[in-house]
Amino acid sequence: MIQKFLRLSSRRRVSSGKRQLHTIISQELIKPSSPTPSHLCTYNLSPVDQLAAKSYMPIVLFYPNNDNCTLTSQEKARVLKESLSQSLTRYYPFAGRMSSPISPYVDCNDEGIIFIEARINSNLEKYLQLSELDNTLDSLFANDLVNYKSPCNTSLVGVQFNHFACGGLGLAVSMSHIIGDGATFGSFLGHWASVARYGSANHQEVIPYIPHFIQFPLTGSIQAAYRAREIDQTNVVLRKFVFPNSKLGDLKKLVEINNNEPSRVEALTSLLYKTAANAAAKRSGSFKTSYLFIMVNMRNKFVKKLPQSTFGNIASVILVPTDRHTSETSLSKVVEDIKKTMSEELEGIQSVQNIGEYIQTSRSRMRKQPNIKKVVNGSYWCSSLCGFAYSKLDFGLGKPIGVNLALGSTHKNGFMLVDTLNGDGIEALVFLEKENMEKFENDKHMLSFCQK
């Protein structure tokens, strides 16, 4: 069901002081094609959902002007809306609302997902060639759903379909981290793309992404104490670095421990962290105790493994401390600490409640650190979306030729890892303060593993 509630012939936005003019073509609410059954009208958030970061995951997929596609722009938009409506019958919490940003449940009232069409007054190539990104990307997303600027924002998902001047397209989708993690987001996008490509959720070729829901009892909100701190983006810049598999293979051999070769993600995370921490130390003249926060998909960590399609935040964060100068810490040592922390603290998890308890215990341990504010400000985070094939997200528009993450939702001092679209490496999105980035991007050892 599609409800049109606003149509504008012309509207301009200005982003970050730059004239990023674009025209809003239409704005609609997309509802599930079938009403959500009454017994599913309340979706209780898990303890981990309630502890999740108050942020959005904003991803934009870029598609070229495809001569093989005979659909008009209007028809392409119609296909996306109708397939989204069908997909929401399975992912029904996305079409609901929270009574407040700290509500312990979602009211699955089928209010719908905002879907905006926009005409962008620039070419797609401009965005594909960016190696230095700023918040100008934010204008590609629906209703500023890249961060929580408005405390009253209770929407969970937003979509903006962007038509570039060259005929290329940008599909920008933003999901609240409160409702799910990267795996949840990925399964939703995969299902929606499949329905759009084949025209029906019942088509035999549609990828059977059937979300697995876990039922939780309704509890009081445990979020409030963890939602007050605003995202600090002061002087933050984003750079993209590509690490080919051949170079990652060399890196893995360099940091292997007792003939135990780490994964690509573990090896690259250690390299990025060590390089960034060294850059900060060179700038300040001294090294400060810091932590490396790593997001971990927990679906395979349970004693009884959960399906990858399990809905919600089935993830945890491990804290890897560094209490010595990073130049004196080998990459092998960082990898060893990552593996040790994972094996000692995350293996054998029995339930989602256990994950919530672990996160709360970790946060309590952090708060007891002396000079906690300095420790947090000097720490780093890493999240990986590797393993999810963005190259397969064909919504009937062809294969994407680029993917980007908006800056608006992201804390400084971090790394987001995604597979390259050709499958031959990892693309690292690095978020650092400008002065630290200048030293980071000129680190010869780190650059030796990058694509030339």
Report the C-alpha gap between 102 and 227 in whole angstroms.
Answer: 8
| Residue 286 backbone phi and psi in degrees, to 5 | -155, 155
Q: CA torsion sign, 418 to 78 to 29 to 135?
A: positive
Token digits for 24?
């809003």
The amino acid at residue 394 is D
Report the C-alpha gap between 56 and 143 in whole angstroms.
Answer: 12
Report the C-alpha gap between 452 and 450 in whole angstroms.
Answer: 6
Q: Is 177 a catalytic residue?
A: yes
CA 301 to the chain's CA centroid: 21
Which DSSP state fits 212?
Answer: B
Report the C-alpha gap between 361 and 348 in whole angstroms.
Answer: 17
Contacts of 179 (CB under 8 A, 6+ apart): 45, 49, 93, 94, 106, 156, 157, 312
The structure tokens 């719908």 sit at: 112
Beta-sheet pairing, 380-384 with 290-297 = parallel
Map residue 335 onto helix, strand or coil: helix
Contact between residue 311 and residue 400 where contact means Cβ atoms under 8 Å apart = no
Q: Is 110 a catalytic residue?
A: no
443 by Cβ neighbours in 10 Å (0-12 / 13-18 / 19+) ranks as middle
Report the C-alpha gap between 365 and 204 in whole angstroms.
Answer: 50
The amino acid at residue 296 is V
Which DSSP state fits 407?
Answer: G
Report the C-alpha gap between 203 and 187 in whole angstroms.
Answer: 17
What is the layout of strands, in order, in the sheet containing 56-63?
2-6, 22-30, 113-120, 157-164, 169-176, 56-63, 402-405
| Residue 406 backbone phi and psi in degrees, to 5 | -70, 150
Q: From the candidates 177, 191, 411, 419, which is the catalytic residue?
A: 177
Residues with active-site annotation: 177, 394
